[in-house]
Chains A and B, each alone.
Chain A
Amino acid sequence: MFETTVTTEQFIQAMVDTFYMVGFSLVVGSIIGIPLGILLVVTKPNGILQNKVVFNLLNPIINMFRSLPFIILLVAIIPFTRFITGTSIGTSAAIVPLIVYVAPFIARLVENSILEVDDGIIEAATSMGATPLQTIWYFLLPEALGSLVLSLTTASISLLSATAMAGAVGGGGIGDLAISYGYERFDSFIMLVTVITLIIIVQIMQSIGNFIAVKLRK
């Protein structure tokens, strides 16, 4: 039962790979996704920078990416991945589809978080003569911050599960370990360990997210 072919080093390496993939794609995904989410909100009909062209372009594109399951997206954009990283296999190569996957997701989550902010706040900002940028920076973002943190927590957890599939392109990480050892080599012990590890990581991520959100919400 407790026998396994996976070494501790391999396991640690898998953890490092997972965190590297989640962390890196979360940061880059946020850098792309947060501004897109804000853009969605402000260009919406009746938004503070209402713009039909931008909104009607952005909205379906985001939906398009959102409708692809990660495993398909991963394979479908291999040429793009190769173009960016020079290779289509390995951890770094996995990061490209992870970013393409998570950025539109983050954009949607950010959009929803900001839409939760009471319209009255925007009205107050406008009545003070705030510019659209000031409205975003001094009113919308601070008021949405708690919710934004929860959104990013959700995005991180989705990323974690997506990294498991990144094993398909030799991306490494805990999910890869579970598939290539636990499943393909019938190593039930490592399967159990990875499952428990993933559960614990998700619990920790969610708890941290909740804690920060509560702190920010006052």
Chain B
Amino acid sequence: MIKLEDVTKVFKVKDKEIKALHNISLHINKGDIFGVIGLSGAGKSTLIRTINFLERPTSGKVIVEGEALHALKKQQLRQVRKNIGMIFQHFNLLQTKTIFQNVAIPLILEKQNKQAIRERVMELLSFVGLEDKANDYPSQLSGGQKQRVGIARALATNPSILLCDEATSALDPQTTDSVLDLLKKINETYNITIVMIAHDMNIIKKICHRVAVMEDGKIIETGDVIDVFKEPKHASTEKFVETVVHRNIPSSIYTLMEKKKDGVFIQIPFINDQTGTLVSTLSKEFQLDVDMVYASMDEIKDDQVGFMVLHLLGTENDIQNGLQYIKSNNMTYQEVGRNV
């Protein structure tokens, strides 16, 4: 479990103070894949680095697996860091060492014996599918393979947390998918908590359970990924969401709506089969003429998220009752048009 309480980070650059993090509070559950998304300069990199104290917050608390990091002595902090693996956008592998030696380094630092190191490294390399590359050098590997080495190295000390700093940003889409699959497998096999930062919502969509959206050093929205995709609350979040899922009513539909004589148009966001028998209920029990004008669905991880636009025709009273019914059934709607 990771807890950030009121974390602020101020950088001093020549008398100027730059506030990279503004009073951030965050709670990341054990075993979660937690995504942080934001544009460059939003403070994501600084945020993820406060979790292992590569960046020491100017104020506020970081609590990792029950330990308040600011209270730790250097030696204790190093011990905590061994429990937090980290992978990087540019891999940060030692160019002069073989793949085997790169993965072995965290174990060498712990002064484990050679036999134990050998076994553990080979086990890790086979887990990431690179056992045949043990004696190669990083320069002989592709980007995706390098990141796999980075992952193997980060897992060497059996950490309970893995931090991913733009881990797939330097990779092509196909390789990105395979690295994400590997991260998912790690999360499922070892129940390791994964915190990843990204600027691409597609990555969040593919593997994250929960997401925080950052802007100008602040977290503007947090929630389950599916909920954020269904109903983003902040305008910036909406922009991120729109890069992945369809959220706008096409203009041709608006034209079509104008042609309809009267009635109310509502937009209802939903997840999976959340809407159930809504359409038939509205028509049977509230005597409304219901016409589905438009609908759109996208797959987010293992769920469907989408919205539909309904045209409701009936007496004002019936319409109001129908809308009330929607609200009382844990659904939301937004009026997008009304013809009188």
B292 to chain A, nearest CB (A): 52
Verify if A60 is at the interface (C-beta below 8 Å from B).
no
The one of A138, A145, A216 in contact with B109, judged by C-beta atoms closer than 8 angstroms, is A138
A163 to chain B, nearest CB (A): 33
Segment among B90-98, B237-245, B327-335 that sits at the interface with chain A: B90-98
For chain B, which range describes its interface: under 10, 10 to 19, 20 to 34, or 35 or more residues?
A: 20 to 34
Give chain A residues whose Cβ lies under 8 Å from the Cβ of B84.
127
The one of A126, A139, A216 in contact with B81, judged by C-beta atoms closer than 8 angstroms, is A126
Residue of A nearest to B84 (CB): A127
A191-218 with Cβ < 8 A to chain B: 216-218
Given A127-B84, A127-B86, are A121 and B97 neighbors across the interface (CB < 8 Å)? no
Binary per-residue interface labels of chain B (40-83) against chain A in the complex, 1 for a CB within 8 Å, 0 otherwise: 00000000000010100000000000000000000001111110
Complex formed: what's the CA distance from A139 to B102 in Å?
10
Give chain B residues whose Cβ lies under 8 Å from the Cβ of A128.
81-82, 105-106, 109, 153, 157
Give chain B residues whose Cβ lies under 8 Å from the Cβ of A217.
95-96
Residue of A nearest to B139 (CB): A218
Q: Evaluate contact between A121 and B96: CB separation under 8 angstroms.
A: no
Binary per-residue interface labels of chain A (94-132) against chain B in the complex, 1 for a CB within 8 Å, 0 otherwise: 000000000000000000000000101101101111110
Give chain A residues whose Cβ lies under 8 Å from the Cβ of B78.
129-131
Q: Evaluate contact between A138 and B108: CB separation under 8 angstroms.
A: yes
A97 to chain B, nearest CB (A): 35
Complex formed: what's the CA distance from A124 to B86 in Å?
8
Complex formed: what's the CA distance from A36 to B85 in Å?
32
Size of the chain A interface, CB-CB below 8 angstroms: 21
Q: Evaluate contact between A142 and B96: CB separation under 8 angstroms.
A: yes
Verify if A134 is at the interface (C-beta below 8 Å from B).
yes
B80 to chain A, nearest CB (A): 8
Residue of B nearest to A218 (CB): B137
B128-157 with Cβ < 8 A to chain A: 137, 139, 153, 157
Complex formed: what's the CA distance from A139 to B81 in Å?
17
Given A120-B88, A138-B109, A218-B137, are A129 and B82 neighbors across the interface (CB < 8 Å)? yes
Complex formed: what's the CA distance from A124 to B154 in Å?
9
Q: Evaluate contact between B96 and A118: CB separation under 8 angstroms.
A: no
Give chain A residues whose Cβ lies under 8 Å from the Cβ of B81.
126-129
Q: Evaluate contact between B54 and A126: CB separation under 8 angstroms.
A: yes
B53 to chain A, nearest CB (A): 9
Complex formed: what's the CA distance from A153 to B108 in Å?
31
Given A134-B109, A138-B105, A142-B97, are A129 and B92 neighbors across the interface (CB < 8 Å)? no
Give chain B residues whose Cβ lies under 8 Å from the Cβ of A134.
109
Give chain B residues whose Cβ lies under 8 Å from the Cβ of A146.
96
Give chain B residues whose Cβ lies under 8 Å from the Cβ of A120.
88, 90, 92
Complex formed: what's the CA distance from A121 to B150 in Å?
12
Verify if A143 is at the interface (C-beta below 8 Å from B).
yes
Give chain A residues whose Cβ lies under 8 Å from the Cβ of B94.
121, 139, 142-143
Q: Evaluate contact between B82 and A216: CB separation under 8 angstroms.
A: no
B206 to chain A, nearest CB (A): 25
A128 to chain B, nearest CB (A): 5
Complex formed: what's the CA distance from A120 to B146 in Å?
14
B122 to chain A, nearest CB (A): 19
Residue of A nearest to B90 (CB): A120
B194 to chain A, nearest CB (A): 15
Residue of B nearest to A120 (CB): B92
Residue of A nearest to B108 (CB): A138
B164 to chain A, nearest CB (A): 12
The one of A118, A127, A216 in contact with B54, judged by C-beta atoms closer than 8 angstroms, is A127
Residue of A nearest to B137 (CB): A218
Complex formed: what's the CA distance from A134 to B163 in Å?
22
Complex formed: what's the CA distance from A218 to B140 in Å?
10
A147 to chain B, nearest CB (A): 11
Binary per-residue interface labels of chain A (131-167) against chain B in the complex, 1 for a CB within 8 Å, 0 otherwise: 1001000110011011000000000000000000000
Extra A-B contacts (13), CB below 8 Å, given A129-B80, A129-B81, A145-B96 = A121-B94, A123-B92, A124-B93, A127-B52, A127-B163, A128-B82, A128-B105, A129-B106, A142-B94, A142-B96, A143-B94, A216-B96, A217-B95
Q: Which residues of B contact A (CB under 8 A)?
A: 52, 54, 77-82, 84-86, 88, 90, 92-97, 105-106, 108-109, 137, 139, 153, 157, 163
Q: Which residues of A contact B (CB under 8 A)?
A: 118, 120-121, 123-124, 126-131, 134, 138-139, 142-143, 145-146, 216-218
A-B CB contact pairs (8 Å), 24 listed: A120-B88, A121-B92, A123-B54, A123-B92, A124-B92, A126-B54, A126-B81, A127-B52, A127-B86, A128-B106, A128-B109, A129-B77, A129-B78, A129-B79, A129-B81, A129-B82, A138-B108, A142-B97, A143-B94, A143-B95, A145-B96, A217-B95, A218-B96, A218-B139
Ordered nearest first, which 3 A-B pairs have the shortest CB separation?
A129-B78, A129-B81, A120-B92
